[in-house]
Structure 1
Amino acid sequence: MSLSPIEGVALAEIESGGDGDAPRSRGVVGRSPGQLALARLRRDRTARVSAALLVFFVVVALVAPLLSLVYGVGPGEDFKDKLDRFGMPLGYLGGISGEHWFGLEPGTGRDIFIRMVYGLRTSLLIALSAAVLSTALGVTLGVVAGYLGGWIDAVITWITDLVLAMPFLIIALALTPTLVLRFYGERDAVPEAFGVAMLIGIFAVFGWTSTARLVRGQVIALREREFVEAARASGAGLGHMLFRQLLPNIWAPILVAFSLAVPQFITSEAALAFIGVGLSEQTPSFGRMIFRSLRYLETDPAYVFFPGVTIFLLVLAFNLFGDALRDALDPKSSR
């Protein structure tokens, strides 16, 4: 005689001794969306490799002063005595040796390895700070526009379209020298911190639009849901509705947007430094190193190889991890 599903469940409970924790004892435990996403990331080989590479880069950037102390060379120290009369490093492959692992910069005699370590620190500091600020601004404006609607939504949408219509490169080229001259004279040395802070501010001002649009669309889709209506009917305030009811339900796309914004800011900083905008000559930067290496492609190819490969791996690791994170947070993903 066949049993109904309910009778089958009851029979299974009787056979197990009526223990209500039988599913837990068999290893069947409910998991939160965050735990499920973390489990998917652990199963993804691409996510593991890219995450390990990112952790390595971040650790190197954080311990840059310690590495400089152990290495025995500072980022501004030069070794012109190890250059020939044409300004080229003595030895093979651009002066690679036990003292200078990646060789020396032609013309200046600065150590390439330690300049790359500090250049990595500069890129990550600018990119992560700009991503945090632009994400916070975009989330705030997107949530407010999507939930309140009306003329507030129209104004924020108009501002978003206006910022998107501005050519970023042209604005950065015009704005950066203006800001420098506003605070410093033509002959004054611009501090490294000022150049870094200026780039972070410019990236944040122009980088929030995509996050704002994404969050606005998500909030519009959620604001008529039953749990939002129930909270509104119970008399919840605006702050509670925005930051306690809506934001916890859209954290996944925000996290993905943040992870994909970081490599965009890294490449933008390198591009601006490549054309001589933003950071000073003394500030270590991948873009400026690559620009200076172009004139030595035939005579010293190692000079462009090391910084070029490093920034390529850094951006690639961020993009791969962002894609893997997006798949892990998507419950419909087959990965």
Structure 2
Amino acid sequence: MRAVKAFLGLVVILAAGVGGLYLTERLLAAQEPAEIAQGTNAPLRVETITPELVTFADAVTAVGTARARQAVDLVAESSGRISRIAFQPGDRVEADAVLVELDDRAEQANLKAAEATLAEAQAAFERQQSLNRSGSASDAAYQTARAALLRAEAERDGALVVLEDRSLRAPFAGVIGLSDLVEGQVIETATPIATLDDLSVIEVDFSVPETLLPRLERGQRVELTSAAWPGRVFQGTISRIDSRVDAATRSLALRAEIGNDDRALAGGMFLQVRLVLDERQRPAIPENALTVEGDRVLIMLAEGNTARQVDITTGQQQDGLVEVVSGLAPSARVIVTNLHRLSDGSAIEAVAQERRVETTPALSEGGG
């Protein structure tokens, strides 16, 4: 009896399984034609954009060192005791301004003696000149008096030079650096007094590969950044191009000039340099609109209610945009959504994308 019940239960289970499979096949068979018909007839909704003109650039990056346009280590022309220091470290001074004065009492006395000798020689020469004109004195006496006058003038001029050397003057306008000197200190001609830098213009020296030589010229734009000024870009131009290529590194030295009216830069600073070789405006599209197949770059265009696949030639990339060199008309509508569901000739319903392509110009690096 127990065996009969087990057999009947097995029969019921098998019958239920067969019935379920039959009903499932009927339902799927009924749905597939409807889905196929819907997929082939209903256009796919896609979003499109038009290419935006973006500024692209070929640029080379390098590292450079800043230097003042004019810089000098100040030293005295003569030794002696400091009587006055006329500057404070960090002061801006004008050209020929007195910076340090040394004790000049002896030199002042020598100058007065030289001037007295010159006055005597001048008087003696005038007497001999008058006698010579009247015929009362010989030419030899006249020439002797004239030579004495010239020697007296030379001694006076020499005394003036020695006196001037007791004062140190700024050779050009600039900013004074740190100094440890104090008034009353005795210095020698080799004693460093301070540094003087003309910081109105900063020069930056850097090098680029020799292969760029045909593309270099004076006046090209450079952009410089410094860790001391995050987010700030300093603008400059190429002012010098070296006449020789370094045989060891195969690089060419360049020098750029940057205006520095606010004294933000100082000599010796480390700077990142970007030299702009070429700039151009080209159409740009988002990277996600591209499909790469081998060496082909493809995009989908909306032509009426049909999707068309076209080949394009691309260039640089920047900020999520790709430069289009050729193959794309300025008025083309580029499809940017549902690309994985499209093929050439697919029916579409194209709508303009609300958010446009960003057009903020930025430089793309090109080697270096």
Larger Rg: 2
Q: Same fold (TM over 0.5)?
A: no
Name the structure with the higher helix share: 1
Name the structure with the higher strand share: 2
TM-score (norm 2): 0.21
Relative contact order (C-alpha < 8 Å, sep 6+): which is higher?
2
TM-score (norm 1): 0.22
